[in-house]
Amino acid sequence: MDPRELTIDQVRLLLDRGEASAVEICQAHLDCIAQRNPETRALLHQDAAAALEQAAQIDRLRKAGQPLPPLAGVPLVIKDNISIRGQRCTCGSKILENYQALYDATVIARLRAAGSLFVGKANMDEFAMGSSTENSAFFPTRNPHALDYVPGGSSGGSAAAVAAGMAVGALGSDTGGSIRQPASFCGVVGVKPTYGRVSRYGLVAFGSSLDQIGPLARTVKDAARLLGAIAGRDTHDATSATLAVPDYVAAIENPVKGLKVGLPRQYFKAGIAPEVTARIQAGLKLLEQLGCELVEVDLPHTEYAIACYYVVAMAEASSNLSRFDGVRYGLRVHGEGTLTGMYRETRDAGFGNEVKRRIILGTFVLSSGYYDAYYLKAQKVRTLIKQDFEKALAKADVIASPTSPTPPFRLGEKSSDPLAMYLSDIFTITANLAGIPGISLPCGRTSSGLPIGLQLLGKHFDECTLLRLGHAFEIAGGFALN
């Protein structure tokens, strides 16, 4: 049994035929973690005993002749900003280095009920602030396809773990591309659902109006299964939608001929690496061969997206991270013995440079005299960007673009240039500003073997169209494992 080749359907087939037990499947992935994690450093920590006990429960059900839940025995890795009761939840930060979650996030409770096994917590950029997983307070993660390269971020540990065979799937969070960009860099599928489709209860907040939990997997079908398991209304999250959750797995088998694929003229300009352009153009030709019609669309406010996003995201980060003050949980540094000193020393010691930068900028744009000039104006631009997508998606069923303007870059290549790092998300942040769903699909490789991703964006709560077009694309292009 090679864990690098298993899908959710294959795990279920092994169990149903009695060819492997859930404990054996779990142990195979734990063995892969022991082999690959020292070089990739995709995981921050794990509770192998808890995962094996989850697996043993599945085996007891099977031996008793009880029906198995839909994700029975499926090993998953969870980004370390999502709470699993009794396990550490560090968010890649020193300030939460020893914090243990007191409850399960809603997505974890749903996956637990579906029979999933949690084999590890994934490394990430600190508080999900980054595009390379180099901002982790503990260590950077390396791309399993080329260890000198980054896996993307901030869900780089999740993407790398799936690509390396440490888990069948993973959960990440996406605030500005943090599922889709690492999926692209690691050659896996990553889905950012519509804002409100998946509960955020138990996700440590970065930007509350932007954050969304979503799956990473080796195939679109696996991503569809995981999304179906975690989606739906949650009374713990007032922003979760009351809409019914479709059968995503059934939807992927529907035909794609006749779908209109929008190509934003603003997304296909200079600045895209030549090998990315070549692979994306080949991908678009494949979509035409599948019977899709390519149409040009206009997203005129794209040039303001980076500035708009970072004003909104940093403002929300400044507000959300104020809770880490040394009083309620996490690190406490007593400092000079005063309350103010304790606040200052705790936050100085606990937060890394990128987090400090974003807190400072976010506090500035929310401050008296600057709120209207920056934050309020950014919210107005955000509305214009949302309206751009509504108009474009009235002409097209989906919008296609590169997931990232470049292939994976070398470790350290952009770490001293924050603006260059921010521009890695130029094609992904707009979906978060507009609240629409997106998916990154493997779309070939560079001449040196580095993965490249194609992004599809869709209408609000229309993940079905993205998944079925993505499924057809990966099968036709030979990108699927099975």
Rounded CA separation 77/66 (Å): 26
Phi, psi of 458 (to 5 degrees): -130, -175
Cβ 36 vs Cβ 165: under 8 Å:
yes
Rounded CA separation 414/247 (Å): 41
Cβ 282 vs Cβ 254: under 8 Å:
no
- The residues that bridge with 146 in the sheet, in sequence order, are 143
DSSP state of 130: -
Catalytic residue among 21, 79, 184, 401: 79
Residue from 267, 272, 293, 313 nearest 438 by CA: 267
The arrangement of strands across the sheet holding 260-264 comes to: 43-45, 117-122, 75-79, 169-173, 213-217, 189-192, 438-445, 451-458, 398-402, 260-264, 293-297
Please report which helix (H) or strand (E) contains residue 118, including its range: strand 117-122
Q: In degrees, to the nearest 5, what angle opens at C-alpha 66 toward C-alphas 120 and 218?
A: 35
Q: Is 154 a catalytic residue?
A: yes
Rounded CA separation 210/428 (Å): 12
Q: Is 184 a catalytic residue?
A: no
Cβ 143 vs Cβ 160: under 8 Å:
yes
Q: In degrees, to the nearest 5, what angle opens at C-alpha 28 toward C-alphas 25 and 30?
A: 110
Residue from 91, 87, 90 nearest 103 by CA: 87
Q: Is 380 a catalytic residue?
A: no
Structure tokens at 349: 């010691």
SS3 171: strand
Catalytic residue among 178, 199, 401, 404: 178
Rounded CA separation 366/372 (Å): 8
Instruction: Point out the residues that are catalytic.
Output: 79, 154, 178
